[in-house]
Amino acid sequence: MFGAAEAARTAWASVFAKDQVVRRCDVPLGFDLADYTDGDYDAVADYMAPLEVEASQAPMTPSGLRWCYHGDAVLFEMSRTLNAPYDELVQRVDIASAIRMMNDYVGGHSEVVSRDDQRRVTRQAERNIYLPQPNWIAFSGGEVIDVCKLEVLRYSRDSQRIAWRTIASPNGSAVHDDGTVTYDRLDGDRTRVTVRGLQEFSLPPFWKALDPWLAPAVKDALVEDSYRRFFTTTLDNVEAAYEGRDFRIGRDHGPSEDEPLDERLRQTWTVLRGMLPERPLEALAREVQARVAPQADEVDEDGFRHFTGGSSDGVQPPELPAWTTATRRWLTEWAEVVAEDASGRTARGG
């Protein structure tokens, strides 16, 4: 019972309350640095180079996302031009921290393996933990993404680049989570930030069983929507880091602050309860009545109700309770994905 309660809590928090409920975490690296040589790190750049070329040639969607299937994995590219001078950007936003700026990053661990003569990181090992992707998959048993990586970094006068390759996934959540982030100088006032990657995550049993039955256009729309949302937010995070704004989700949680499940559930309920009205069913009934039954403009002395009709003349409808707004937003996002079914296929000539 408690396992089911914790799973439900995690799924709900992943979608509706990342900042209030999700806890940031520090974990061990997950592998022995002595098992890998400098050559293993350097080989990551050679491994990613042809994948970057292929990603750059993938069809582009209207949102600016390039993507295609690469076997069972998804290969993608997304970039953004920032109004940020290159020299300022690389000083404020360390390329070595690029993975930790990804959307829904909630913790992990990193170890610097080597530096150059300017003390810049050239080789690095990391373990990264992210919320289930896309978040709504948590409702069907999707786990957090937990991956261990080797990373290599290269610097030139007008460009910086980090490349990484997954070597393990402690919870089996990923087959591939490989990629690169590049900063390129454009002119005196602008820098292009580009994210490319090859990803293949393990599906929970429900989606694994459903996958063969999904129409290709529906599957494509789900993939495109998930990657567009994730990497749009990732690039937002890079921009926020440059501007000095906080972008991390979740709340701090030290290793000595582990809380029992009943306390975590209590905190979750406190947040959820704050979204609910005092009497949810009555509030919903009032909302339905207000939107379905028109309000009389006048009631005469005999009890007859009179309506003038026409528009509301600027009268705003009653504000919805937070819980209905959150649910509606989630359903709306699903509707958008389904709506992109036909248009997604058309855009790619399918």
Which CA distances in Å does 84 have to 101, 103, 184, 191?
A: 17, 21, 11, 6
**Model pLDDT, residue 21:** 46
User: Is it true that the peptide bond before 212 is cis, omega within 30 degrees of 0?
Assistant: no
Domain 25-249 listed as CATH 3.30.530.20: yes
**Model pLDDT, residue 201:** 87
**Model pLDDT, residue 160:** 98
* Cα within 13 Å of Cα(330), Cβ side: 17
Would you kindly state where each structural domain of the chain is located, as residue ranges?
25-249, 278-347
Residues in Cβ contact with 101 at an 8 Å cutoff, skipping those fewer than 6 apart? 93, 234, 237, 238, 241, 247
Structure tokens at 288: 């339905």
pLDDT averaged per 10 residues, the chain (length 350): 46 48 76 97 97 96 93 95 96 95 89 96 96 63 84 97 97 93 94 96 60 70 88 94 84 51 51 51 58 59 61 49 54 58 51
Q: Are the C-beta atoms of residues 209 and 199 closer than 8 Å to each other?
A: no
Give Cα 294 distance to the centre of its chain: 41
Q: Please tell me the pTM assigned to this model.
A: 0.68
Burial of 53: CB neighbours in 10 Å, binned 0-12, 13-18, 19+: exposed
* Cα within 13 Å of Cα(86), Cβ side: 16
**Model pLDDT, residue 145:** 87
What whole-number distance in Å separates Cα of residue 153 and Cα of residue 112?
11
**Model pLDDT, residue 311:** 46
**Model pLDDT, residue 226:** 87
Give Cα 3 distance to the centre of its chain: 25
Structure tokens at 252: 């701090």
SS3 category, 182: strand
What whole-number distance in Å separates Cα of residue 249 and Cα of residue 101?
10
